[in-house]
Every structure is written in structure tokens, then in C-alpha cells.
Amino acid sequence: MKIFTWRNFFRTAIWGGGTLLAVGLLGLIVLLVYLGRLSQDLPSIDELAEYEPPITSRVHAGDGRLIAEFARERRVFVPIERLQPDLTNAFLAAEDANFYEHGGLDFVGIVRATINNVGNVIRDDRLEGASTITQQVAKNFLLSSEQRLERKLREMLLARRIERAFEKDEILELYLNEIYFGRRSYGVAAAAMNYFGKSLDELTLSESAFLAAVVNGPARFHPIRHPERTLNRRNWVLSRMAAEGFITQEEAEAAADEPLRVIERFQGEEYLAAEYFVEEVRRQLFDTYGEEQLYNGGLSIRTTLDTRLQLAARTALRNGLEAYDRRHGYRGPLGEIEAGEGWPERLAAFEDMPSDVDAEWLPAVVLAVNAQDVRIGYLIAPEDEGSEVIDIERQDEDEEEIELDPAEGQIALSELEWARQALEDGLMGPVINTPADVLSVGDVILVESLTDEAGEPDGFGLRQVPAINGALLALDPHTGRVLAMAGGYSFQQSQFNRATQARRQPGSSFKPFVYAAALDNGYTPVSMILDAPFVASGGPDLRFYRPQNYSERFYGMSTLRLGLELSRNVMTVRLAQEMGMEPIAEYGERFGIYDDLEPVLAMSLGAGETTLWRLVTAYGALVNGGARIEPTILDRVQDRQGESIYVHDPRASEAYDVEEWSPALIEPEVPDLGEAVISPVTAYQIVHILEGAVQRGTGNALRSLGRPLAGKTGTTNDFRDAWFVGFGPDIVVGAYVGFDTPQEMGSGEAGGRVAAPIVRDFLEVALENYPVAPFRVPEGVSLVPIDSRSGEPSVLGRPGTILEAFQPGSEPSQSGDDGETGLTFTGGSVSGGDGDEDEDLGGIY
């Protein structure tokens, strides 16, 4: 037995302690070697110094409104000095209160988290982290997110390096512009826009706290799926801000009492209206700058779009297509469901509902068919109960649906009379006598709530999505800026842009360019052309070519003006034969309507295919004094540094660069845009004749607008395509309507009936911001009083007299038949004139 002595005790202790010390030293050496090896393989922090994150490319309308964003990661980089204190303090309080004191690692926080996590493990709660903001920068920028000890050690080493290389504000700036907030939002600026529709300087204290809360876990703190959890997290951030002294307790409590309101951006009629335009912008930018620059390059894109006019364009086009559709009958219900008990659940689950219907339309199910009406069931959103937790304006498509309440209503027989069976070629079935002729119990349909003259609810009307389609395009003829573009009834139903991509025959809307060629080849507006039966060789595919007027009548000798005003087919073809097709083909190509027009007589009536984009551009050249300007949807594109990489109007001059205006300044010379394709006099002559088409001819749909306007209809064989181009001195608008797979629209469905009302309805809104002014008369035009029917000289004031525009030297004799002397006006003086209504317009063609 060993006897205890203090000597033996200390000897053993020293020996054992030495062993432990040796083991400790050895472990420390191994750890240092391991950390050394890790540090040798660390990513370079130079990447942070050269940080250029993917940034959202933003698209603005010409009036400054943000209309779209292109990005894989929605991010807008904001310098630290632009961030308000409440926002940065919210993140410091929630994520790293000691950020400005520690050197990259918060050892106090690590110990606290370790102790707390013991209890979290026992309670099976979520583990508490202790990463500093610097560590998160290291992980987000330079490392992966894998949960491994090695990655954590590398993160800590990098955090120390980052702290030595960067100022604290620089680190915080990197963090706040990089982190993910959900909703594809990267960085605080994008998150503020995507959650609240606000810039950073507009955020409230409550909203700043929400952003600091949601970044901890966008899926866990989802304001729609988990509103209570999200609200509690936001309020916890506010309490931490008060505890750290960033705000007072009273401010924290006031902010915590505020409801949580988030929005869904780029929703509503204004954004839906611009979808075709935005897609055209995306396509052009993709082709020009490539995918990487478009989606990651942070381009600032200023477009030509006028959002007010764009909404008017979509409304006018949809109303016009729906009006045509209702004239040609009902194609049946969307489907059928059981109409008995439980119909609300079955209606809510119905899957064949069309997208992007009018905002006022509702899906409904027929519950009963009576003698004079139909009883329907539909679903409505519950009334707002004033929730103190959350107020949602719109939801993401992949999120939970809002529960809808069932309701019932009636469709009167009078609202079903239009719904005769739709047949082929625009024909319809028998007249509707009872509701049972149209609907059956269980039919799933679309309805619209109606009101009476006093604005009180007055039942419902039956609706359907049109099968026909079309497009509308409006541009400024002097700059080429596209002001509005509607490429179809619904972008969500079809992304095919009929304004730019649909190649169709323009019909008679090509005639102005035939007559322009004639005016430049020896004809005048009063030249007489025979309107009589005409037969010509039809070429290899057609033995004889025999054109017909719309009215199937002939009118004898008529002036060239009447031929265009009243859209006489036979006169136009005879004119083309007399003149030859070569100059007509040349003018079609010169104006950009066609690339290679075959010089056969049928082409003089618009048998060649073109697009609405090209045709409206050509009309713009007529209004612009004969100078053709390539249209544009882009005004300016800037890169992420703000440098302009594209400018539509390049007419820059140092003469514009002055600090302030003074009367002594000489106005700089501004070169004209565009390429002259015909003389200003010829261009005005055609414009002046087309004014007559509105006053006395086929463009009379615009007459109700009560101002100087011009226009031309177009219809192709068998009523397959309907066109109308209308214009004023400063705007040109074209509309096209037809089935995507060409088929007859129905007898009488010509350009004046189908397309012209669409242009009229658009111009009624658009012209509110344009002054009432005549078309500009260029120098060199001779305006001579003539009889609008015979083309003979006349005197002002005589019924049927108009001022006709002539090329210098081509004017007719000025002696009236009663000895009175007519008057001649030289360009720049007056424009237009009134005449009697032609009793036979030759049909609307």
C-alpha cells in the first residue's frame, strides 16, 4: 500500500498536468495547422471590392411610370448613405446589435447562443444562430450555405479578413444589398418595392421592422401564409430596437399597433394593358444586348409608352372585338357542373376558366331556367372585416386562395336575345324566344353585372371571350415614338403580337399610296378616271381579273379624289393599269409597307401581306410631310452606371447646352428626322383627300369627334380582314381585326364597321390632350376652290365647294361657269373645306 505524501501528490499532479498540457498544446498545434490550411484555400476578398451584383433592369413608360422589371434576382443597389437610420437600425437590432463593436466575430453572442441552444435542443425548438453581419457577408458572397463545421470555420476566417479590409459601413452596404427577402427580392430596395410599392425613403418604422424580420426566413415569415407569426416577428424586431436605444418604447408600441399591409406589384388594368408593349421591349433588348445584360445588367429603360393612351388602346380594342363577337352569336358555355347543393365548391374548382377576362366579368353557374329569366349562382369576395393583422390587396398566383362567398342573381330574356347560335362564316342560328334556347341548368358561363339609368343593380348580362382578334397601334408621326400598342385581346391567352407579327392583306388601306404614286406621275386630284366594268389578264393563276366595287355598282367618270374618298375598287385598278404597276410597287416598298411587291393589278387593292406596324408607319410619313421615320418603342437605354448606350433621337447639339435661357440666344438648327420618300406637297394632297374620306366618305366614323381628322378603311375579299387607319396632325392610329386562322367575318363586316369604331373610341380619349388644329399645309401647295363632285373650278360658299390641293402649275382654270372668279391660296394659309354629303358612299369599304 502506497503511503500518501504531499511529495507524491505534487509529483503525480505535475506529471498528469504536463500530459494534459502536452495534449492541449498538441491539439492547439493541430488546430492552427488546420486553420492555416483552410486560410490558404479561402476565396479572395477582392471580389467584394469589385462587387457588381446582378441588378434588375427597370422599364419606365414615357410618362415616368414603372411598368416592368426584367431580372433573375430583383435587386436595386443602393449606397449606404441613402439608407434611412430606422432601416439600418432595424437590421442591426435583429441581426447584429454589436456590429460596430466587434471585429467580425461576436464571442459573447456565440456563448449566449450555445447556452440557449441547449434548451432549444431539449424543447425541440429551432436553433439560435450567432453569425454576425460580417459572417453573413462572407457566406453569401464567397461561400456556400452547406451546414458543415469546415464551412463555418472558413466563414469565421473570412469574416476577420473582411473586417481588416473594409470599413464597417461598406460591409453593411454589401449585406443590405445582397440578402434575400422572398418574392424574388434581393436587397432592401427591391424588397421595399415588392412588398410595399415604396422607395426606401418612404418606408415607415413598422415597414422597416418587417423587412428586418422577414429576412430571417422568408418562407417562415410569410405575410400571407403565416400572418400571425410574421406580425410577432416584426413586433419582436421593434422591441429589440427599443431595447438597443434606437427608438423609444412609445415609438415601438405605436409601430406594433399598425396593421401589416403588403401589395402585389404590376397588377391591375394599367399593367395588363401594357403586356404586349413590354414583351416587345423585352424582345428588342434581348436581341440587342443579350440575355446577361438584360436580366442582370441593371439597365434603365425609358420607353415611349403613354400609359393613359395604352389603357385607352386596350379598352377600345377589347370593346370593339366584343361588339363584333356579340353580333355573331353565342358559342356555348365554358363547361358544365352539378347545379345542386355544393355548387359553390364545384364552381370554385372549375378548371376551364379563361384568363384575363374583363374585370367586371364573373364566372357563374346556371341554377334554374325560367320562362322569362335565368337564375345564376356566382362567387364574390367577402366584405373587408377590418383585420388588424394583415391587409392584402392581391396575392401571388402560387399562394392560397381567398375564400369566396356564394351569391345569386338573374339574367333577363332581353339580355339573351343576342346569343343566337354562332355558325360558320359569321352566320347565326334562329332567333331566341325563351331562355332555354340559350342556357341549361349546370352551364358554367361568364356574366357581367348591369345597372339601370339611376346606377342601381339591374341583373346580369351573358358574356363570352371573343374568338376573333386584332391589334391597335398609335404613334407620333413626327418622332416615330409608339404611344400605345395593343397586340391582341389578351396577352395571357396569346402572346402573339398582331401589331408587329401578323402579316395580313391591308385591302383598301393601301390605296392612298397608289394615289400618291399617281399624283407624282402626272395626275391631279381632279383627274377623271372611268368607273365602269373592267376585265384584265389575271396572270398565271387567274385567267381573268375582274374587280368589283363594294356596292356592286359603277359610277362612270369620277375624280381621282372621289375614287379614294369612296374607296372605288374599279377606278383604282383602272388607274393602276393606265399608270402601270411599277411606280405603285416602288411606292409600296419606298414607304416600307412591302419588301418586294409583285407588280400585278390585284396588289393595287392591297392583296400583298404586311403588318399593322408597317402600315401605320407609312401613314405617319404622309402626316410628317413625306418623311418616313422608323418607329421606336425606346427613347433611351442606360447601363448600370447611368451612361446612355442607346438614344432614339440623336439630334444633339452643343447649342442646347446652356446654363440658362435668355432672349439673346439664337435658336439652334434642328435637323429633321426621317428620310423623305415623297414631296411634302404630294403627302399633303393625300392627307387632304383622306380628310374628305372622313367628311364625306368611308372614314365617316371619325366625323363625330368634331375636329380635323383623316382616315382610310380597308377590307379584304370575303370580309376576312378589316382595317382602319385614322390620324390627326400629331397622331396616327391604326387598327386591324380578323381571325388568327383567316376565315370570313360575315357579310358587311368591313373596315368601316369593325375597325373604324375602335380607332374612334381610342382617339376620343387620346385627343383630349391635343389642341384642335388643322393639318399643316406645306409651302408650295396651291389651294383652289372646286366642286367636290365634278372637279370643276368653283367659288367658296357655293354648296359642294371645297378647297382642293394642287401641285404648283397643275391647277385647273379659275373662271367659274357663271363668270365669277375663283380664288387660289398658296401653301401655309388654309386647310380643308366643307361639302355636301355624298348620297351614295359606295358602301363602307
Residues forming the active site: 95, 508
User: Rounded CA gap, 695 and 778, in Å?
Assistant: 22
Identify how many contiguous H helices and E strands the chain contains and give both numbers.
23, 27
Name 214's Cβ contacts closer than 8 Å, sequence gap at least 6.
181, 182, 191, 195, 221, 223, 230, 233
Helical spans, DSSP H, in 697-785: 751-754, 756-766
In 3D, which of 144, 252, 254, 262 has the Cα closest to residue 193? Answer: 262
DSSP state of 185: B
Name 410's Cβ contacts closer than 8 Å, sequence gap at least 6.
373, 374, 375, 376, 459, 460
What is the length of the chain?
845
Collapsing DSSP states into helix, strand and coil, what is residue 607? coil
User: Rounded CA gap, 228 and 206, in Å?
Assistant: 15
The grid coordinates listed for 545 are 381579273
CA distances (Å), origin 188, targets 60, 236, 374, 605, 833: 21, 19, 53, 59, 62
Grid cell 411634302 — which residue? 680
Residues paired with residue 713 on neighbouring β-strands, in sequence order: 724
Residues paired with residue 457 on neighbouring β-strands, in sequence order: 451
CA distances (Å), origin 147, targets 150, 152, 246, 253: 9, 8, 33, 37
User: Rounded CA gap, 626 and 780, in Å?
Assistant: 14
Measured between alpha carbons, how far apart are the two ends of the chain, in Å? 127
User: Rounded CA gap, 48 and 59, in Å?
Assistant: 28
The grid coordinates listed for 173 are 452596404
Neighbouring CB atoms inside 10 A of 546's CB total 12
Q: Assess contact for 529 and 563: CB atoms under 8 A.
A: yes
DSSP element (H, E) containing 559: strand 556-559
Backbone angles phi, psi at 537, to 5 degrees: -65, 135
For residues 587, 589, 594 and 598, what is the CA-based torsion angle, rounded to 10 degrees?
A: 80
Positions of E strands within 241-372? 260-262, 300-303, 335-336, 361-369
User: Rounded CA gap, 748 and 700, in Å?
Assistant: 16
Backbone angles phi, psi at 322, to 5 degrees: -70, -40
For residues 346, 347, 351 and 353, what is the CA-based torsion angle, rounded to 10 degrees?
A: 170
Q: Is 800 exposed, middle or buried (0-12, 13-18, 19+ CB in 10 A)?
A: middle
CA 376 to chain centre: 35
User: Rounded CA gap, 617 and 621, in Å?
Assistant: 7
Q: How many CA atoms lie within 13 A of 447 on its CB side?
A: 29
User: Rounded CA gap, 596 and 608, in Å?
Assistant: 9
Q: Assess contact for 769 and 451: CB atoms under 8 A.
A: no
The grid coordinates listed for 789 are 363632285
